[in-house]
Structure 1
Amino acid sequence: MNGLIVFNSSNDVVYQNLNSLLAEKICSIAITQGLLPDGSTAPANGSDMDSNILLQIFSPIISSQRIMHGQFDNAYASVQCDNGFNIVFGELLGFTFLKIDQIKIEQLTRQLGVAITLTRYCYGANLFGAQAGAMQQELLTQCLNCYETQLCQDEQAYLLEALPKLLINTELKRTVHLTLDATLEQLRQSGGQQRAHALLLVSHKLVALNSTRQALPLSAADLLFLAMLTRALQLDKSQRAVAVFLQGVSHDPNSGCVPTIVHISRLHSHQVLLQLIEYGHMPLTSSIYDTFFVLQKIVAVQQQNDSDALKPAYENLETFVNQTLAALKRFLKQRPDEVDICIKKFSLRWDNLRRMYLEYFKNYERELLVRIESNLPAFVEELKQLFTITLAVCDSASNHQLDQLAETASVVEAKLLEFSEFLAVKAARNISIDAYLEDFPGLVHFMYLNRNSGQMLAPDLRSSNPQLLPKANLWEMVELTRKYLKKGQTTVMWKDRTFHYSYFLWFEDLSGGIVKCALDLQQHFISTGFGSGNGQKNGAAEPGALAMDYYSDLAEICFPKLAPGKVRVYELYCIHLGLVTATCAVEHARRLVATISDVIGEESF
C-alpha cells in the first residue's frame, strides 16, 4: 500500500495519488464506517477516489496535526500503525502532505521529502492552484510514480541522489562542449535567449552541461530532477516541452523558483538533449516566491497567538510585498490590461491588510486579529493570481521559439551522429570494477560523490555480479551511514559475515586541499537538532539533494566564515570483502580518490 494525499488549509483534498492496494483499503474502511454502501469497489485509478471519503477518514488526524502545529509548534512527524502501516507528515506553504506506505519510517520520510520537492518543481509558488491547470498535476504524478516504482528502489543514482557522470576522452569531450556551445549561441543570436542551458545525457548519464553567462547556475537537485523528468516522460514522440520551476544554487539571491521551459529531444542511441530556457524576470519571480513563505510564517505566528513575534513577522512581510510591487513597476513596464487589473487588486488587498495590522499593533485587540485572519485567504489568492499572470506574460513571449529548439536539437544530433554508437557503448561500460581489482584487491564496489555538482562515479550495478554483491546490502549500507551522518559522524566502518563497509565524508577547498572542520559535529547536532528536521528551514529530515539541500547547509555550519560555494563536499562509499582490514580499507579509499582524480581531471568532477 502506497499513496500521497495533500490537504489545503481548509482540510480539503487537493491532490491524491494512491496505488490500487491502498485505494482498496480505504474503500474497505469507508464501507465499515458507513461512508460507502456494501459492495462498493475502489476506482480503477487510485487518483479518482472520492475526495469527500478521504476527507471524512483523514480529517480527524489532519485537524489534530494542525492544532499541534499551530498552538503548540509540535506537529506530528509520523504515525506507526499495526501491520507495518506507517504515515508521515509534511508541510509546504500551508498544505499538509500525508505519505502512506508499509516501509520504514526513514524511507517513507525520504519519499515524502522528494514528493514535496517535486511539487515545488512542478507548481512553483502556486501549489495546486486552479490557474496552474491539469498539466502540472499530471507531470507531478508521472514524476512521483517514476521515482517510487522504478528508481528509488532499483538505481543507486537515486538511492544516493546524484547523477552519474559519463567518462569520455578529452577530444570527444571538447567536441561535445563545442557543439552545445554552438547551440546556445544560435539560441542567443536568433531567439535572443540570454539565459539558457544545454545538457546531453546518454543512457541516463551526464555527458556535458553548458550554460550561457547570464543563466542561473543549476543546483545538484536541478540536475537530478531533470534526469528524472526524462525518465518519467517515456514518450512515443521524440520531442516534448514542459514548464517547470527549477531551484538554482542556494547562494544566489534569485534562487528558489526559476521559471524554465525544458525541451526534451530524444536523439540517436539513447542520447537525450535537454534545452532549458529561463523565461521569467528573476528578481520579480524570486520576490513573489519568497513572499509566499513569509506570508506562511505570519500565518503560523498568528495561529500560535505569539503577539511578540507578530510585529517582526509583519515587518518582514511588508518588506517583501514592497519589493514585489517595486519589481512589478521595474520589469513589467509594458503590460496588458489584465496584468494591470491584477496588480491593482493585489495592491488594494495589501493596503487593506496593512491598515488592519497597523491598527492592531496600537491596542492588540483580538477582534482585529480575527478580521486579519479572515482577509488573509483572499490576499493569498490575489498573490497566486499575480504570480501566475506575470509568468503567463513572460511565457507567451517564449512559446514561439519552441520550433527553433526542435531545429537546434536536429543540428546537435547530426553533429554527434558519428560518435553516437561509441557513446552508447561507453555508457553501458562506463566504469567496471574489474579495472580496479589489481590495484585494490578485495574491493567489491565503490561510489564516489561530489555533493556540490550533484554528480557521482560508480560501477554500474547491472554489470556487477549480484551474487557477489546483493543489492540489498548496498541499500542497507547507505541507510546505516545516513543514520550516523545525522548524528554528526563523517567516518563509519563496520563488518558483517561477508563484507567490510566504509564511508567517508570530507571537505575540500577550490584548490583541492583538505579543509578540516574545527566544530564538534556530534555535539552540535545534538544541541541544534540539525539533520533531524528540528528547526531546519526546509523541514526535511534526510540528507540528500532532492529531499533538502543538506550538504550546503552542512558546509555552512562547518565553515561559517567561508563564502558559499568555496567549500566542496565529497563522499566515498567502499565495500570490500570481509577479509580486508580497516587499515587496508582506509588506504584503498585514499588511493582510490587519487586514482579517479587523475583519470577524470578535477575540472570534470
Structure 2
Amino acid sequence: MNGLIVFNSANDVVYQKLNTPLGQKILDVAIAQGLLASDTTLYSCSSSHSLDSNILLQIFSPIISSQRIMHYQFDNCYESLQCDKGFNLVFGDLLGYTFLKIGQLPIEQLMRQLGVAITLARYCYGANLFGSQAGAMQQELLTQCLDCYEMLLWQEEQTYLLEAMPKLLVNSDLKRTIHLTLDATLEQLRQAGQTRAHALLMVSHKMVAACSTRQALPLSAADLLFLGILARTSNANAKSSSSSSSPSLSPVQAQRAVAVFLQGVSHDVNSGCVPSIVHISRLPGHQVLLQVIEYANMPLTSCIYDAFFVLHKIIAVQLQGDSDALKPAYESLESFVGQTITALKRHLKQRPEDLENCIKKFSIKWENLRKMYTEYFKNYERELLVRIESNMSSFVEELKQLFTLACCDSSSIHQLDQLSDSAAIVEAKLLEFSEFLAVKATRNISIEAYLEDFPGLVHFIYVNRSSGQMLAPDLRANQLVPKTKLWSMVEMTRSYLKRGQTTVIWKDKAFHYSYFLWFEDQSGGGGILKSSLDLQTHFLTSSNQPMNGGLKQQAEPGALTVDYYHDLAELCFPKMSPGKVRVYELYCIHLGLVTATCAVEHARRLVATISDVVGDESF
C-alpha cells in the first residue's frame, strides 16, 4: 500500500495519489464506518478514477486537525505515526499545505519519499501550490514525476539512491565538439532574445555536457535530478504511446515542452523559484537534449516567492497566539511586500489590463491589512486580530494571482518551433557520434579496469556534491555486490553522517565497506579544508535545532529534499563563500579480506586516479 494525500489549510483534499491496495483499504474503512454503501464498486487506480475527496476528508480529518493543533498551539507537530502490520504515516508541510504520505515502508524511507514529493510539487507549481490558476497540466506533471520516481527509480538506480547525476566520460576531442554544439544552440537562443538559457545533453540518463548562458541562474544539484526525472518521464510517456505512432517519424520529432519552476543554486539571491520552459528532445542513440529557458523577471519573482514563505510564517504565528513574535514577522512581511511593489513598478513597465487590475487589488488589500496591523500593535486588541485573520485568505489569493500573472507568463517565448529546429541541428552535428555515445554509456566505467591497481575493490561511488554529479560502475545483474548491500550501505553512512561522522569503516562476513566525506577549497588550488568545528559534539549539543542555512540534525542527507551538503559546508566554514567550498563523498566496497589500512590507501589513490582521468575542471 502506498499513497500521497495533500490537504489545504481548510482540511480539504487538493491532491491524491493512491495505489490500488491503499485505495481499496480506504474504501473498506469507509464502508465499515457507514460512509459508503456496502455495495460500492471496488476502487480503481486508473487515471480516470479517484476516491471521493469527502470520504478522504471524513476519514483523515481528525488526524490532520490534530496535526495542525499540535503545530500551531504547541509548535510540536507529529512527524510520523506507526500502526500495526507495518502501516505507517508521515507528515510534511509546505506553505500551509499538509502532505500525508502513507505506506507499508520503514519510516525513514517514507520520510525520504515524502520529501521528494514536496520538492517535486515545488518544481511543478512554484509558489502557487495546487492553485486553480495553475491548471490541470501541472497536476498531471506532478503525478507523472511521482510515478516515475517511486515506481521506476528510487529502489532501482544508484543515481536516485545517491541523488546525484552520473557523468558520462568521453575523450577531450568529443567533449569539445559537444560543448561547441551546445554553445552554438545557446547562441541561437540568445540572438532570438532569450539571454537566460541552458542546454543539456544526456545519453542513457547519464550527463554528457551542460552549457549555460552568462545571465542564466546556475543549476543546482536538485535541478539536475529533477531534469533527469523529467527526461525519464517523457521517455516513459513516449514508450507508452509508441504503438500509435508512425514508424516513419524521426526520433527528434519525439519532443515535449513543459513549464516548471527550477530552484537554482542556494547561494544566489534569486534562487528558490525560477520559472522556466523545458523543451525535451529524444535524439538517436538514446540521446536526450534539454533546452531550458528562464523567462521571468528574477528579482520580481524572488520577492513574490519569498513573500509566500513570510506570509505563511505570520499566519502560523497568529494561530499560535505569539504576540511577541508577531511584530517582527509582520515587519518582515511588510518589507517583502514593499520590495514586491517596487519590483513591479521597476521591471514591468508595460502591463496588460488583467495584471494591472490584479496589482491594484493586491495593493488595496495590502493597504487594508497594513492599517489593521498598525492599529493592532497599538493596543493588541483580539478583535483586530480576528479581522486580520478573516482578511488574510483573500490577500493570499491575490498574491497567488499576482504570482501567476506577473511571473508565470511564458507567452513571450515564441520560438518553440526554433527549439525543435535547434534539436534537429544538434542531431545532425552529433549523428556520427550517436552510436559511439550509446555504446559508451553502457560501458562508462567498468570495475574490471580497476582490479589490477586496486585488488579486492568490487564497487565504488565518487560524488561531487557541489556539482551534483557522480562517477560509479553501472549496476549489473551478475555483479558481485548484491544491490541490497549497496542500499543498506548508503543508509548506514547517512545515519552516521547525521551524527557528525564523516569517515565510516565497517565490515560484514563478505565485504568491507568504507565511506569518506571531505571539503576542498575551490578558490585556493583545490586543497583539503579542515573545519575547526567538531561536528559530533555540535550535533550532540544542538539536538534538532536548525543549523546555518536551515539544516537540522534530523534532516536526511541528499540533494532533492534539502540542499544538505551546501548547508553542511556553510556550517563548517561560515566565513567562506559557499560557492568556493566543494564537497566530495567516496563510497568503497572491498572483499572482506581487505584490511582497513588497505581500504583507506585505496580510497586515497582512487580519488587521484579518477581526477587524472576526468580532470578537475569537469568534475
Distance in structure 1 (CA, Å) of the matches to 2:194 and 2:405: 21
Per-residue deviation, 1:331:
1.1
Alignment check: 8 A CA contact 2:117 2:146 kept: yes
Q: Which one-letter code corresponds to 1:106 in the other structure?
A: E
Q: Residue 461 of structure 1: SS of its match in structure 2?
A: coil
For residues 175 and 613 of structure 2, the distance between their equivalents in structure 1, rounded to whole angstroms, comes to: 14
TM-score (structure 2 length as normaliser):
0.95
Q: Which residue of 1 aligns with 2:88?
A: 86
Aligned match of 2:411 in 373, 393, 396? Answer: 396
2:496 corresponds, among 469, 484, 495, to 484
Matches within 5 A, 1:199-210: 199-210=200-211
Instruction: Tell me the distance in 2 between the aligned counterparts of 1:322 and 1:538.
Output: 29
Name the counterpart of 1:431: 445
1:465 aligns to what? 478
Q: Is the 8 A contact 2:511 2:590 kept in 1?
A: yes
Matches of 1:69 and 1:262 in 2, distance apart? 37
Count residues with an aligned counterpart. 599
Alpha-carbon separation, structure 1, partners of 2:340 and 2:182: 35
User: Which position in structure 2 is the counterpart of 1:352?
Assistant: 368
- In structure 2, give the amino acid aligned to 1:375: N
Distance 1:481 1:33 in 2: 44
Percent identity reads: 74
Quote the Cα distance in structure 2 between the aligned partners of 1:534 and 1:57. 37
Match for residue 192 of structure 1? 193
Aligned twin of 2:249? none
Alignment map for 1:408-419 (pairs within 5 Å): 408-419=422-433
CA pair 16-199 structure 1, distance change in 2 beyond 3 A: same
Alpha-carbon displacement from aligned partner over 1:37-95 (angstroms, at most 9, x marks no partner) = 11323431266111001000100010000000001100000000000001000000000
Equivalent residue of 2:151, what SS?
Answer: helix
Partners of 1:211 and 1:59 in 2: how far apart? 47
Would the aligned equivalents of 2:549 and 2:570 in 1 still touch at CA under 8 Å? no
Mapped to 2, the partners of 1:118 and 1:323 lie a distance apart of 28
* Equivalent runs, 1:25-104 vs 2, <5 Å: 25-45=25-45, 48-104=50-106
Structure 2 residue aligned with 1:575, among 565, 568, 589? 589
The gaps in structure 2 that reach 5 residues or longer are: 243-252
Partner of 2:261, secondary structure, is: strand
Deviation, 1:538, is 7.1
Residue 254 (structure 1) aligned to one of 247, 250, 270: 270
Q: Is the 8 A contact 2:549 2:567 kept in 1?
A: no
User: Which of 567, 574, 577 is 1:560 aligned to?
Assistant: 574
1:244 matched to 2:260? The reply is yes
Question: Which residue of structure 2 lines up, in the alignment, with residue 231 of structure 1?
Answer: 232
* Structure 2 residue aligned with 1:126: 128
1:448-527 equivalence runs, <5 A:
448-462=462-476, 465-466=478-479, 468-510=480-522, 511-527=525-541
**Secondary structure of the residue that 1:508 maps to in structure 2?**
strand
CA distance in 2, matches of 1:292, 1:537: 17
Distance across 1 between alignment mates of 2:80 and 2:549? 17
Residue 488 of structure 1: how far off its partner (Å): 0.6
Q: Any idea what SS the aligned residue of 2:594 has?
A: coil
Aligned AA (2:41): T
Q: Are residue 286 (structure 1) and residue 302 (structure 2) matched?
A: yes
CA contact (8 A) 1:503 1:571 kept: yes
SS at match of 2:452: coil
Q: Structure 1 stretches of 5 or more lacking a match?
A: none
Task: Name the CA distance, whole Å, in 2 between partners of 1:9 and 1:42.
Answer: 30
**Distance in 1 of aligned mates of 2:528 and 2:444:** 28
Q: Conserved in 1, the CA contact under 8 Å of 2:550 and 2:567?
A: no
Residue 319 of structure 1 aligns with an amino acid whose one-letter code is S
How far apart in 1 are the matches of 2:89 and 2:106?
Answer: 10
Aligned to 1:117: 119
Answer yes or no: is the 8 Å Cα contact 1:509–1:567 preserved in 2: yes
Q: Whole-Å Cα distance in 2 between the matches of residues 570 and 354 of structure 1? A: 48
2:15 maps to 15
Q: Distance in 2 between matches of 1:566 and 1:529?
A: 28
AA partner of residue 475 (structure 1): W
Greater CA deviation, 297-306 or 378-387? 297-306
> 2:147 — aligned with what?
145
> 2:353 aligned with 1:340, yes or no?
no
1:158 aligns with 2:171: no
8 Å CA contact 2:551–2:568 kept in 1: the answer is no
Q: Distance in 1 between matches of 2:284 and 2:10?
A: 49
Cα distance in 2 for partners of 1:451, 1:121 equals: 20
By how many angstroms is 1:392 displaced?
4.3
Distance 1:374 1:294 in 2: 18
Code of the residue aligned with 2:261 in structure 1: it is: F
Determine which of 547, 564, 567 is the counterpart of 1:550: 564
Deviation of 1:521 (Å): 0.3
TM-score, normalised with respect to structure 1: 0.97
Matched residue, 2:250: none
SS in 1 for 2:578: coil
Asked if structure 2 preserves the Cα contact closer than 8 Å seen for 1:78 and 1:87, the reply is: yes
The answer for the alignment partner of 2:598 in structure 1 is 584
Q: Name the SS for the 1:130 alignment partner.
A: coil
CA deviation vs aligned residue, 1:576-599 (integer Å, no higher than 9, x gap): 000000000000000000000000
Deviations 1:398-450 (A, max 9, x none): 1x110000000000000000100000000000000000000000001000000
How far apart, CA to CA, are the structure 2 residues paired with 1:205 and 1:79?
38
- 2:247 is matched with none
The one-letter amino acid of 2:266's match is: S
- Tell me if structure 1 keeps the 8 A contact 2:551–2:564: no
3-state SS of 2:343 partner: helix
Where does residue 442 of structure 1 map in the other structure?
A: 456
Q: Is the contact made by 1:128 and 1:137 (CA closer than 8 Å) also made in structure 2?
A: yes
Q: Deviations over 1:446-474 (max 9, x none)?
A: 00000000000000002x634x2110000
SS at match of 1:144: helix
Q: Mean alpha-carbon deviation: is it higher for 297-306 or for 355-364?
A: 297-306
- Contact 1:162 1:454 (8 Å CA) reproduced: yes
User: How much does 1:391 deviate?
Assistant: 2.7
Equivalent-residue separation in structure 2 for 1:251 and 1:166 (angstroms): 27
Counterpart amino acid of residue 222 in structure 1: D
**Structure 2 CA distance for aligned equivalents of residues 27 and 41 of structure 1:** 9
Asked if the contact 1:27–1:41 (Cα under 8 Å) also holds between the matched residues in 2, the reply is no
Q: Which amino acid in 2 is paired with 1:478?
A: V
* Counterpart contact for 1:508–1:515, Cα < 8 Å: yes
* Partner SS state of residue 281, structure 2: strand
- Does the 8 A contact of 1:110 with 1:541 survive in 2? no
Aligned partner of residue 325 in structure 1, secondary structure:
helix
Match of residue 397 from structure 2 = 381
The alpha-carbon deviation at position 14 of structure 1 amounts to: 0.2
1:537 positional shift: 3.7
Question: Residues 3 and 100 of structure 1 are in contact (CA less than 8 Å); yes or no, is this contact kept in structure 2?
Answer: yes
CA distance in 1, matches of 2:303, 2:510: 54
Q: Distance in 2 between matches of 1:581 and 1:81?
A: 43
Task: Give the 4+ runs in structure 1 shifted more than 3 A.
Answer: 532-540
Contact 1:162 1:449 in 2 (8 A): yes
Counterpart of 2:125, as a letter, is: Y
Contact 1:109 1:541 in 2 (8 A): no
| Structure-to-structure mapping, 1:323-334, within 5 angstroms | 323-334=339-350
Range 539-548 or range 563-572, more displaced: 539-548
Q: Give the C-alpha shift of residue 381 in structure 1.
A: 0.2
Q: CA deviation at 1:534?
A: 8.9
Q: How far is the alpha carbon of 1:496 from its aligned partner?
A: 0.6
User: CA offsets, 1:274-308, max 9 Å, x none?
Assistant: 00000000000111000000000101111111111
Measured in 2, the distance between the counterparts of 1:516 and 1:86 equals 41
